Amino acid sequence: MEQRPAMKKVKEKTKRKTKDVEEEEREELFNLNNKSAEKAEEKKTMTCQTEDDGSDEDDDKQNQQIKVKNNKNKKGTTEGKQEKKEDEYEHDTSDEEDIRNTVGNIPMEWYKDFPHIGYDLDGKKIFKPIRNKDELDEFLDKMENPDYWRTVHDKQTGRDIVLSDEQVDLVNRLQRGQFGDVNFNEYQPTVEFFSSDVMIHPVTNRPADKRSFIPSLIEKEKVSKLVHAIKMGWIKPRRVQDDSKERYYDLWAGEDSSILAKHKMHLPAPKVPLPGHEESYNPPPEYLFTEEEKAVWEQQDPEDRKLPFLPKKFSSLRQVPAYSRFIHEKFERCLDLYLCPRQRKMRVNVNPEDLIPKLPKPKDLQPFPTTQSLVYRGHSGLVRSIGVSPSGQWLASGSDDGSVRFWEVCSARCMKTVQVGGAVKSIAWNPNPALCLLAVAVDSSVLILSPSLGDKLVVSSSERLLAGSQDDDPSEGPEPVSWSETEGEELKEGIHLKIQHPKAVHQVTWHAKGDYLASVMPDNSSHLQVFIHQLSRRRSQNPFRRNKGLVQSVAFHPVRPFFFVATQRYVRIYNLVKQEMTKKLQANSKWISNIAVHPGGDHVICGSYDCKLSWFDLDLSTKPYKVLRHHKRAVRSVAYHRGYPLFASASDDGTVIVCHGTVYNDLLQNPLIVPVKVLRGHVITHDLGVLDLTVMKRRTEVKLSRENCVYTSCYCEENVWKLCEFIQAQKIAPLEQLAVIFISNDNRMVPLWKQKSGHEERPVIWDYHVILLKVGGKSDSVIYDLDSVLPFPCSLRLYAAQALRSDRGLKPEYHRKLRVVPADSFLSNFASDRSHMKNADGTWKMPPPSYPPIQTAESKMNLDDFIRMNPAVGWGSVYTLGQFLLKYVVEDPSTSASSSTAVS
């Protein structure tokens, strides 16, 4: 503060000197006769205009220079320098206008009609310079004067000024938006004038205002009101905290990671994730949910959702409502902090429908038996066993009344009755279609019957086999089984051979070739429980030397030399060629009752008295692949169908359950097992229900209709595949007459008329469509299209005229091509995983069929090879619509009277 008076004295002296210098300069400036003075004045004016604007540092430096020079003059410098003192205001740095004209900031246009343009410091007029140049002189000056481009006219002095290079650079920098000073650094670090640090001196030296020392009346009024409120008790002071009460502390306050990291049981504090764009009140469009995403989000469980809330968009922050889950999330946060070392077991909310496996609909797995067709009546006792001939024409039944009856399957007429003299335990037809023989188990003997039914050639070949000679090979000891031929009445009844066993026989079964026969005699105390008989050589052998358990049932492998033996809890598989056991299956049942082998030989089912049915996959494991517990009482019999993927089980509860069991050629794909039908109506007698069942092929003509076909909207390729499979299974038509037609083009836009999804005469634009063609004569070919409103089936001529029409009236991008693929090639090569029917988020465009996707061992998805109309790729042949119609239709529909509608 003591330096301020000295500074004021210096400034006063400087101002006095400046006034003297200015008076001398004015005399020189306004001397019009002195030309050299005018040039000097112009130079000074240009210098004043180009100086940097009001820098305090430059002024200080100039003042310091003036002091230094004055000191030198005092010490005895040259007299010339003493007389010519340095003027500290020689270069003016102010922003004011030209100091020679004192009119101030007024428009110079006011002096337009006057000979002068202002007044100097003495109040004398400043006359305008005489300008005798016309436009021609101006033009010549512009072309000849090299400095014309840098010459400017000063309105206050009325003179032309030539700018220097420094001034031109200054103008260019200002026009580019840069700073005037070349040395100015616009990126220099900022100086924080206002900070949290306590400063000794104020930022500015401006004296305090007078109002700062006068008390404010408004503040006085506020303070008086607060004092009055405190006195009245309206405002209470802060309560003093009681240290005796319990205090809460932060578990993780001031934790040191270096120290806590050494502890194995250290649990860091859980952190809340930072908010993202989706939590904004005005999120970007990509974070907002669509209607489909909202529906999927609402169906998901809370723990499966990616976001616990739905992002919403508001026009302003004021319209955002209160967060509905605020208290809930705060509570969850407190639990995370307080109970994080523990584990909260949340109750699992399971939808009962989710526990039910998603299986195909029974309608999609047809055909299978659904209703009772015939009842065979005639026995007076319990019917314990039945069998069907290989041709499916005859049925044999054995009963406790001591008789075996032969029935015609289609009419339920009893063709023949044979008295065997005892209760029949089991019967079995010879599976060889060239023979007509029946094995019957009665007490301790097995009877071989020839019912003499059917073709004469079959009957004669059967009798020749039975008349063969017995093997003369000598045996080492007495045979436990004896062969004998019947005579008299038994021979007339058709009983040709009798095989005598040491014990009662409970089961008989044939080998697939029809020459070998196996019999079972359950006895836990002996190893003579199973015998294998050869009919052509009339010899028997016991394949086992040791007792492996109480044998319940046996079966031959349909293809390989394997022999299945079922005891109470195990199923053993023996190789008859190598004479060794190859596999042992664990049924996980208390008592096995019956077994059956799949026609393919790789799967086995076994029923048990504890109401279970076990399915074994021999290539997978020795334990059951699937265990079915559909019956309420003991399972008596199980059987496979030889033609369809079906198997059935009979139980003492009086029901027969039919199941669909598809076995795939792909070893990586598990069998499809689906219960499809429960057959009821059997009467329970003496606590016994259905004792035996068998399956047969019934050759009946099936009429193909829409109701018999498997149909799913927008899955036309799979509908046609299922239709071909159904025609092949039912043998409605040979596959050589069938062809699958894919309709598409390179643009994937093909119009079709007479479609279910169309309206009246408007076409439907498909990306592709699949139909089935049955080729006959050119007038007999028919089309099967499940998506059309035309008759089913429809003649190809009618379908071409009504649904296909012609390409002549269509734009080129709608012209259609057709790929014709043989039905057998389509069934064996087509595969689709349905990925083309899924959206980007994984949802279905249309609900898929209930049955599994169609796949082959080579591919899981080759639909595009069929749709792509490239003859070099895929199967079948590719035609244009005209070529197809000329090949399969007599008359080209393009020449018919029916007109086609152009698609725009």
- What does the alpha-carbon distance between residue 97 and residue 90 come to, in Å, rounded to a whole number? 16
**Alpha carbons 697 and 529: distance in angstroms, whole number:** 33
Domain 548-696 has CATH 2.130.10.10: yes
| CATH number given to 373-469+480-545 | 2.130.10.10
Q: How many CB atoms lie within 10 A of CB 902?
A: 12
| Amino acid letter, residue 384 | R
Taking every pair of Cα atoms in the chain, the longest distance, rounded to a whole number of angstroms, is 176
Question: Quick one: tokens of 544?
Answer: 């086992």
Q: Give the model's pLDDT for residue 21.
A: 47
Question: Cis link prior to 367 (omega < 30° from 0)?
Answer: yes
pLDDT in the model for residue 341 = 55
How confident is the model at residue 79, as a pLDDT?
Answer: 44
Could you confirm whether 436 is annotated as catalytic? no
- Inter-CA distances, 172 with 55, 167, 169, 646, Å: 22, 9, 5, 96
Question: Choosing from 379, 557, 769, 815, which is the catalytic residue?
Answer: 769
Judged on CB neighbours under 10 Å (0-12, 13-18, 19+), 408 is middle
Nearest residue to 408 (alpha-carbon basis) of 420, 423, 425, 391: 391
- 716 classed as catalytic: yes
Task: Write down the catalytic residue from 652, 785, 787, 807.
Answer: 785
737, 741, 745, 752, 794 from 788: Cα distances, Å? 22, 15, 20, 9, 10
C-alpha torsion 466→470→471→475, nearest 10:
130
The pLDDT, as a whole number, for residue 73 is 43
Q: For residue 440, list its beta bridge partners.
A: 427, 447
Which helix (H) or strand (E) segment holds residue 443: the answer is: none
Which two tokens mark 152? 């400017």
Q: What is the DSSP string of 466-510?
A: HTPPPP-PPPSS--SSEEEE--THHHHHTEEEEEE-SS---EEEE
Q: What is the pTM of this model?
A: 0.45
Asked if 59 is an active-site residue, the reply is no
Q: Of 123, 139, 143, 92, whose CA–CA distance to 30 is shortest?
A: 123
SS3 string, 595-612, reads EEECCCCCEEEEEECCCC
Q: What is the pLDDT of residues 794-810, one digit of tens each?
A: 888 888 888 888 888 88
Radius of gyration of the chain (CA): 56
Residues of the chain predicted below pLDDT 50: 1-11, 13-15, 17, 21, 25-26, 28-85, 92-98, 342-345, 700-702, 778, 891-904
C-alpha distances out from residue 118 to 40, 99, 600, Å: 21, 11, 122
- CB of 828 within 8 A of CB of 859? no
Asked if residue 702 lies in contact with residue 732, where contact means CB atoms within 8 angstroms, the answer is yes
Q: Which CATH class is domain 706-889?
A: alpha beta
Which residues, 6 or more positions from 813, have their beta carbon under 8 angstroms from its beta carbon?
Answer: 745, 747, 749
Q: Where are the domain boundaries for CATH 3.10.620.10 in the chain?
A: 706-889
> Which SS3 state, helix, strand or coil, does residue 464 take?
helix
Selected catalytic residue, list 436, 606, 716, 794? 716
- The segment(s) of the chain belonging to CATH 2.130.10.10 are 373-469+480-545, 548-696
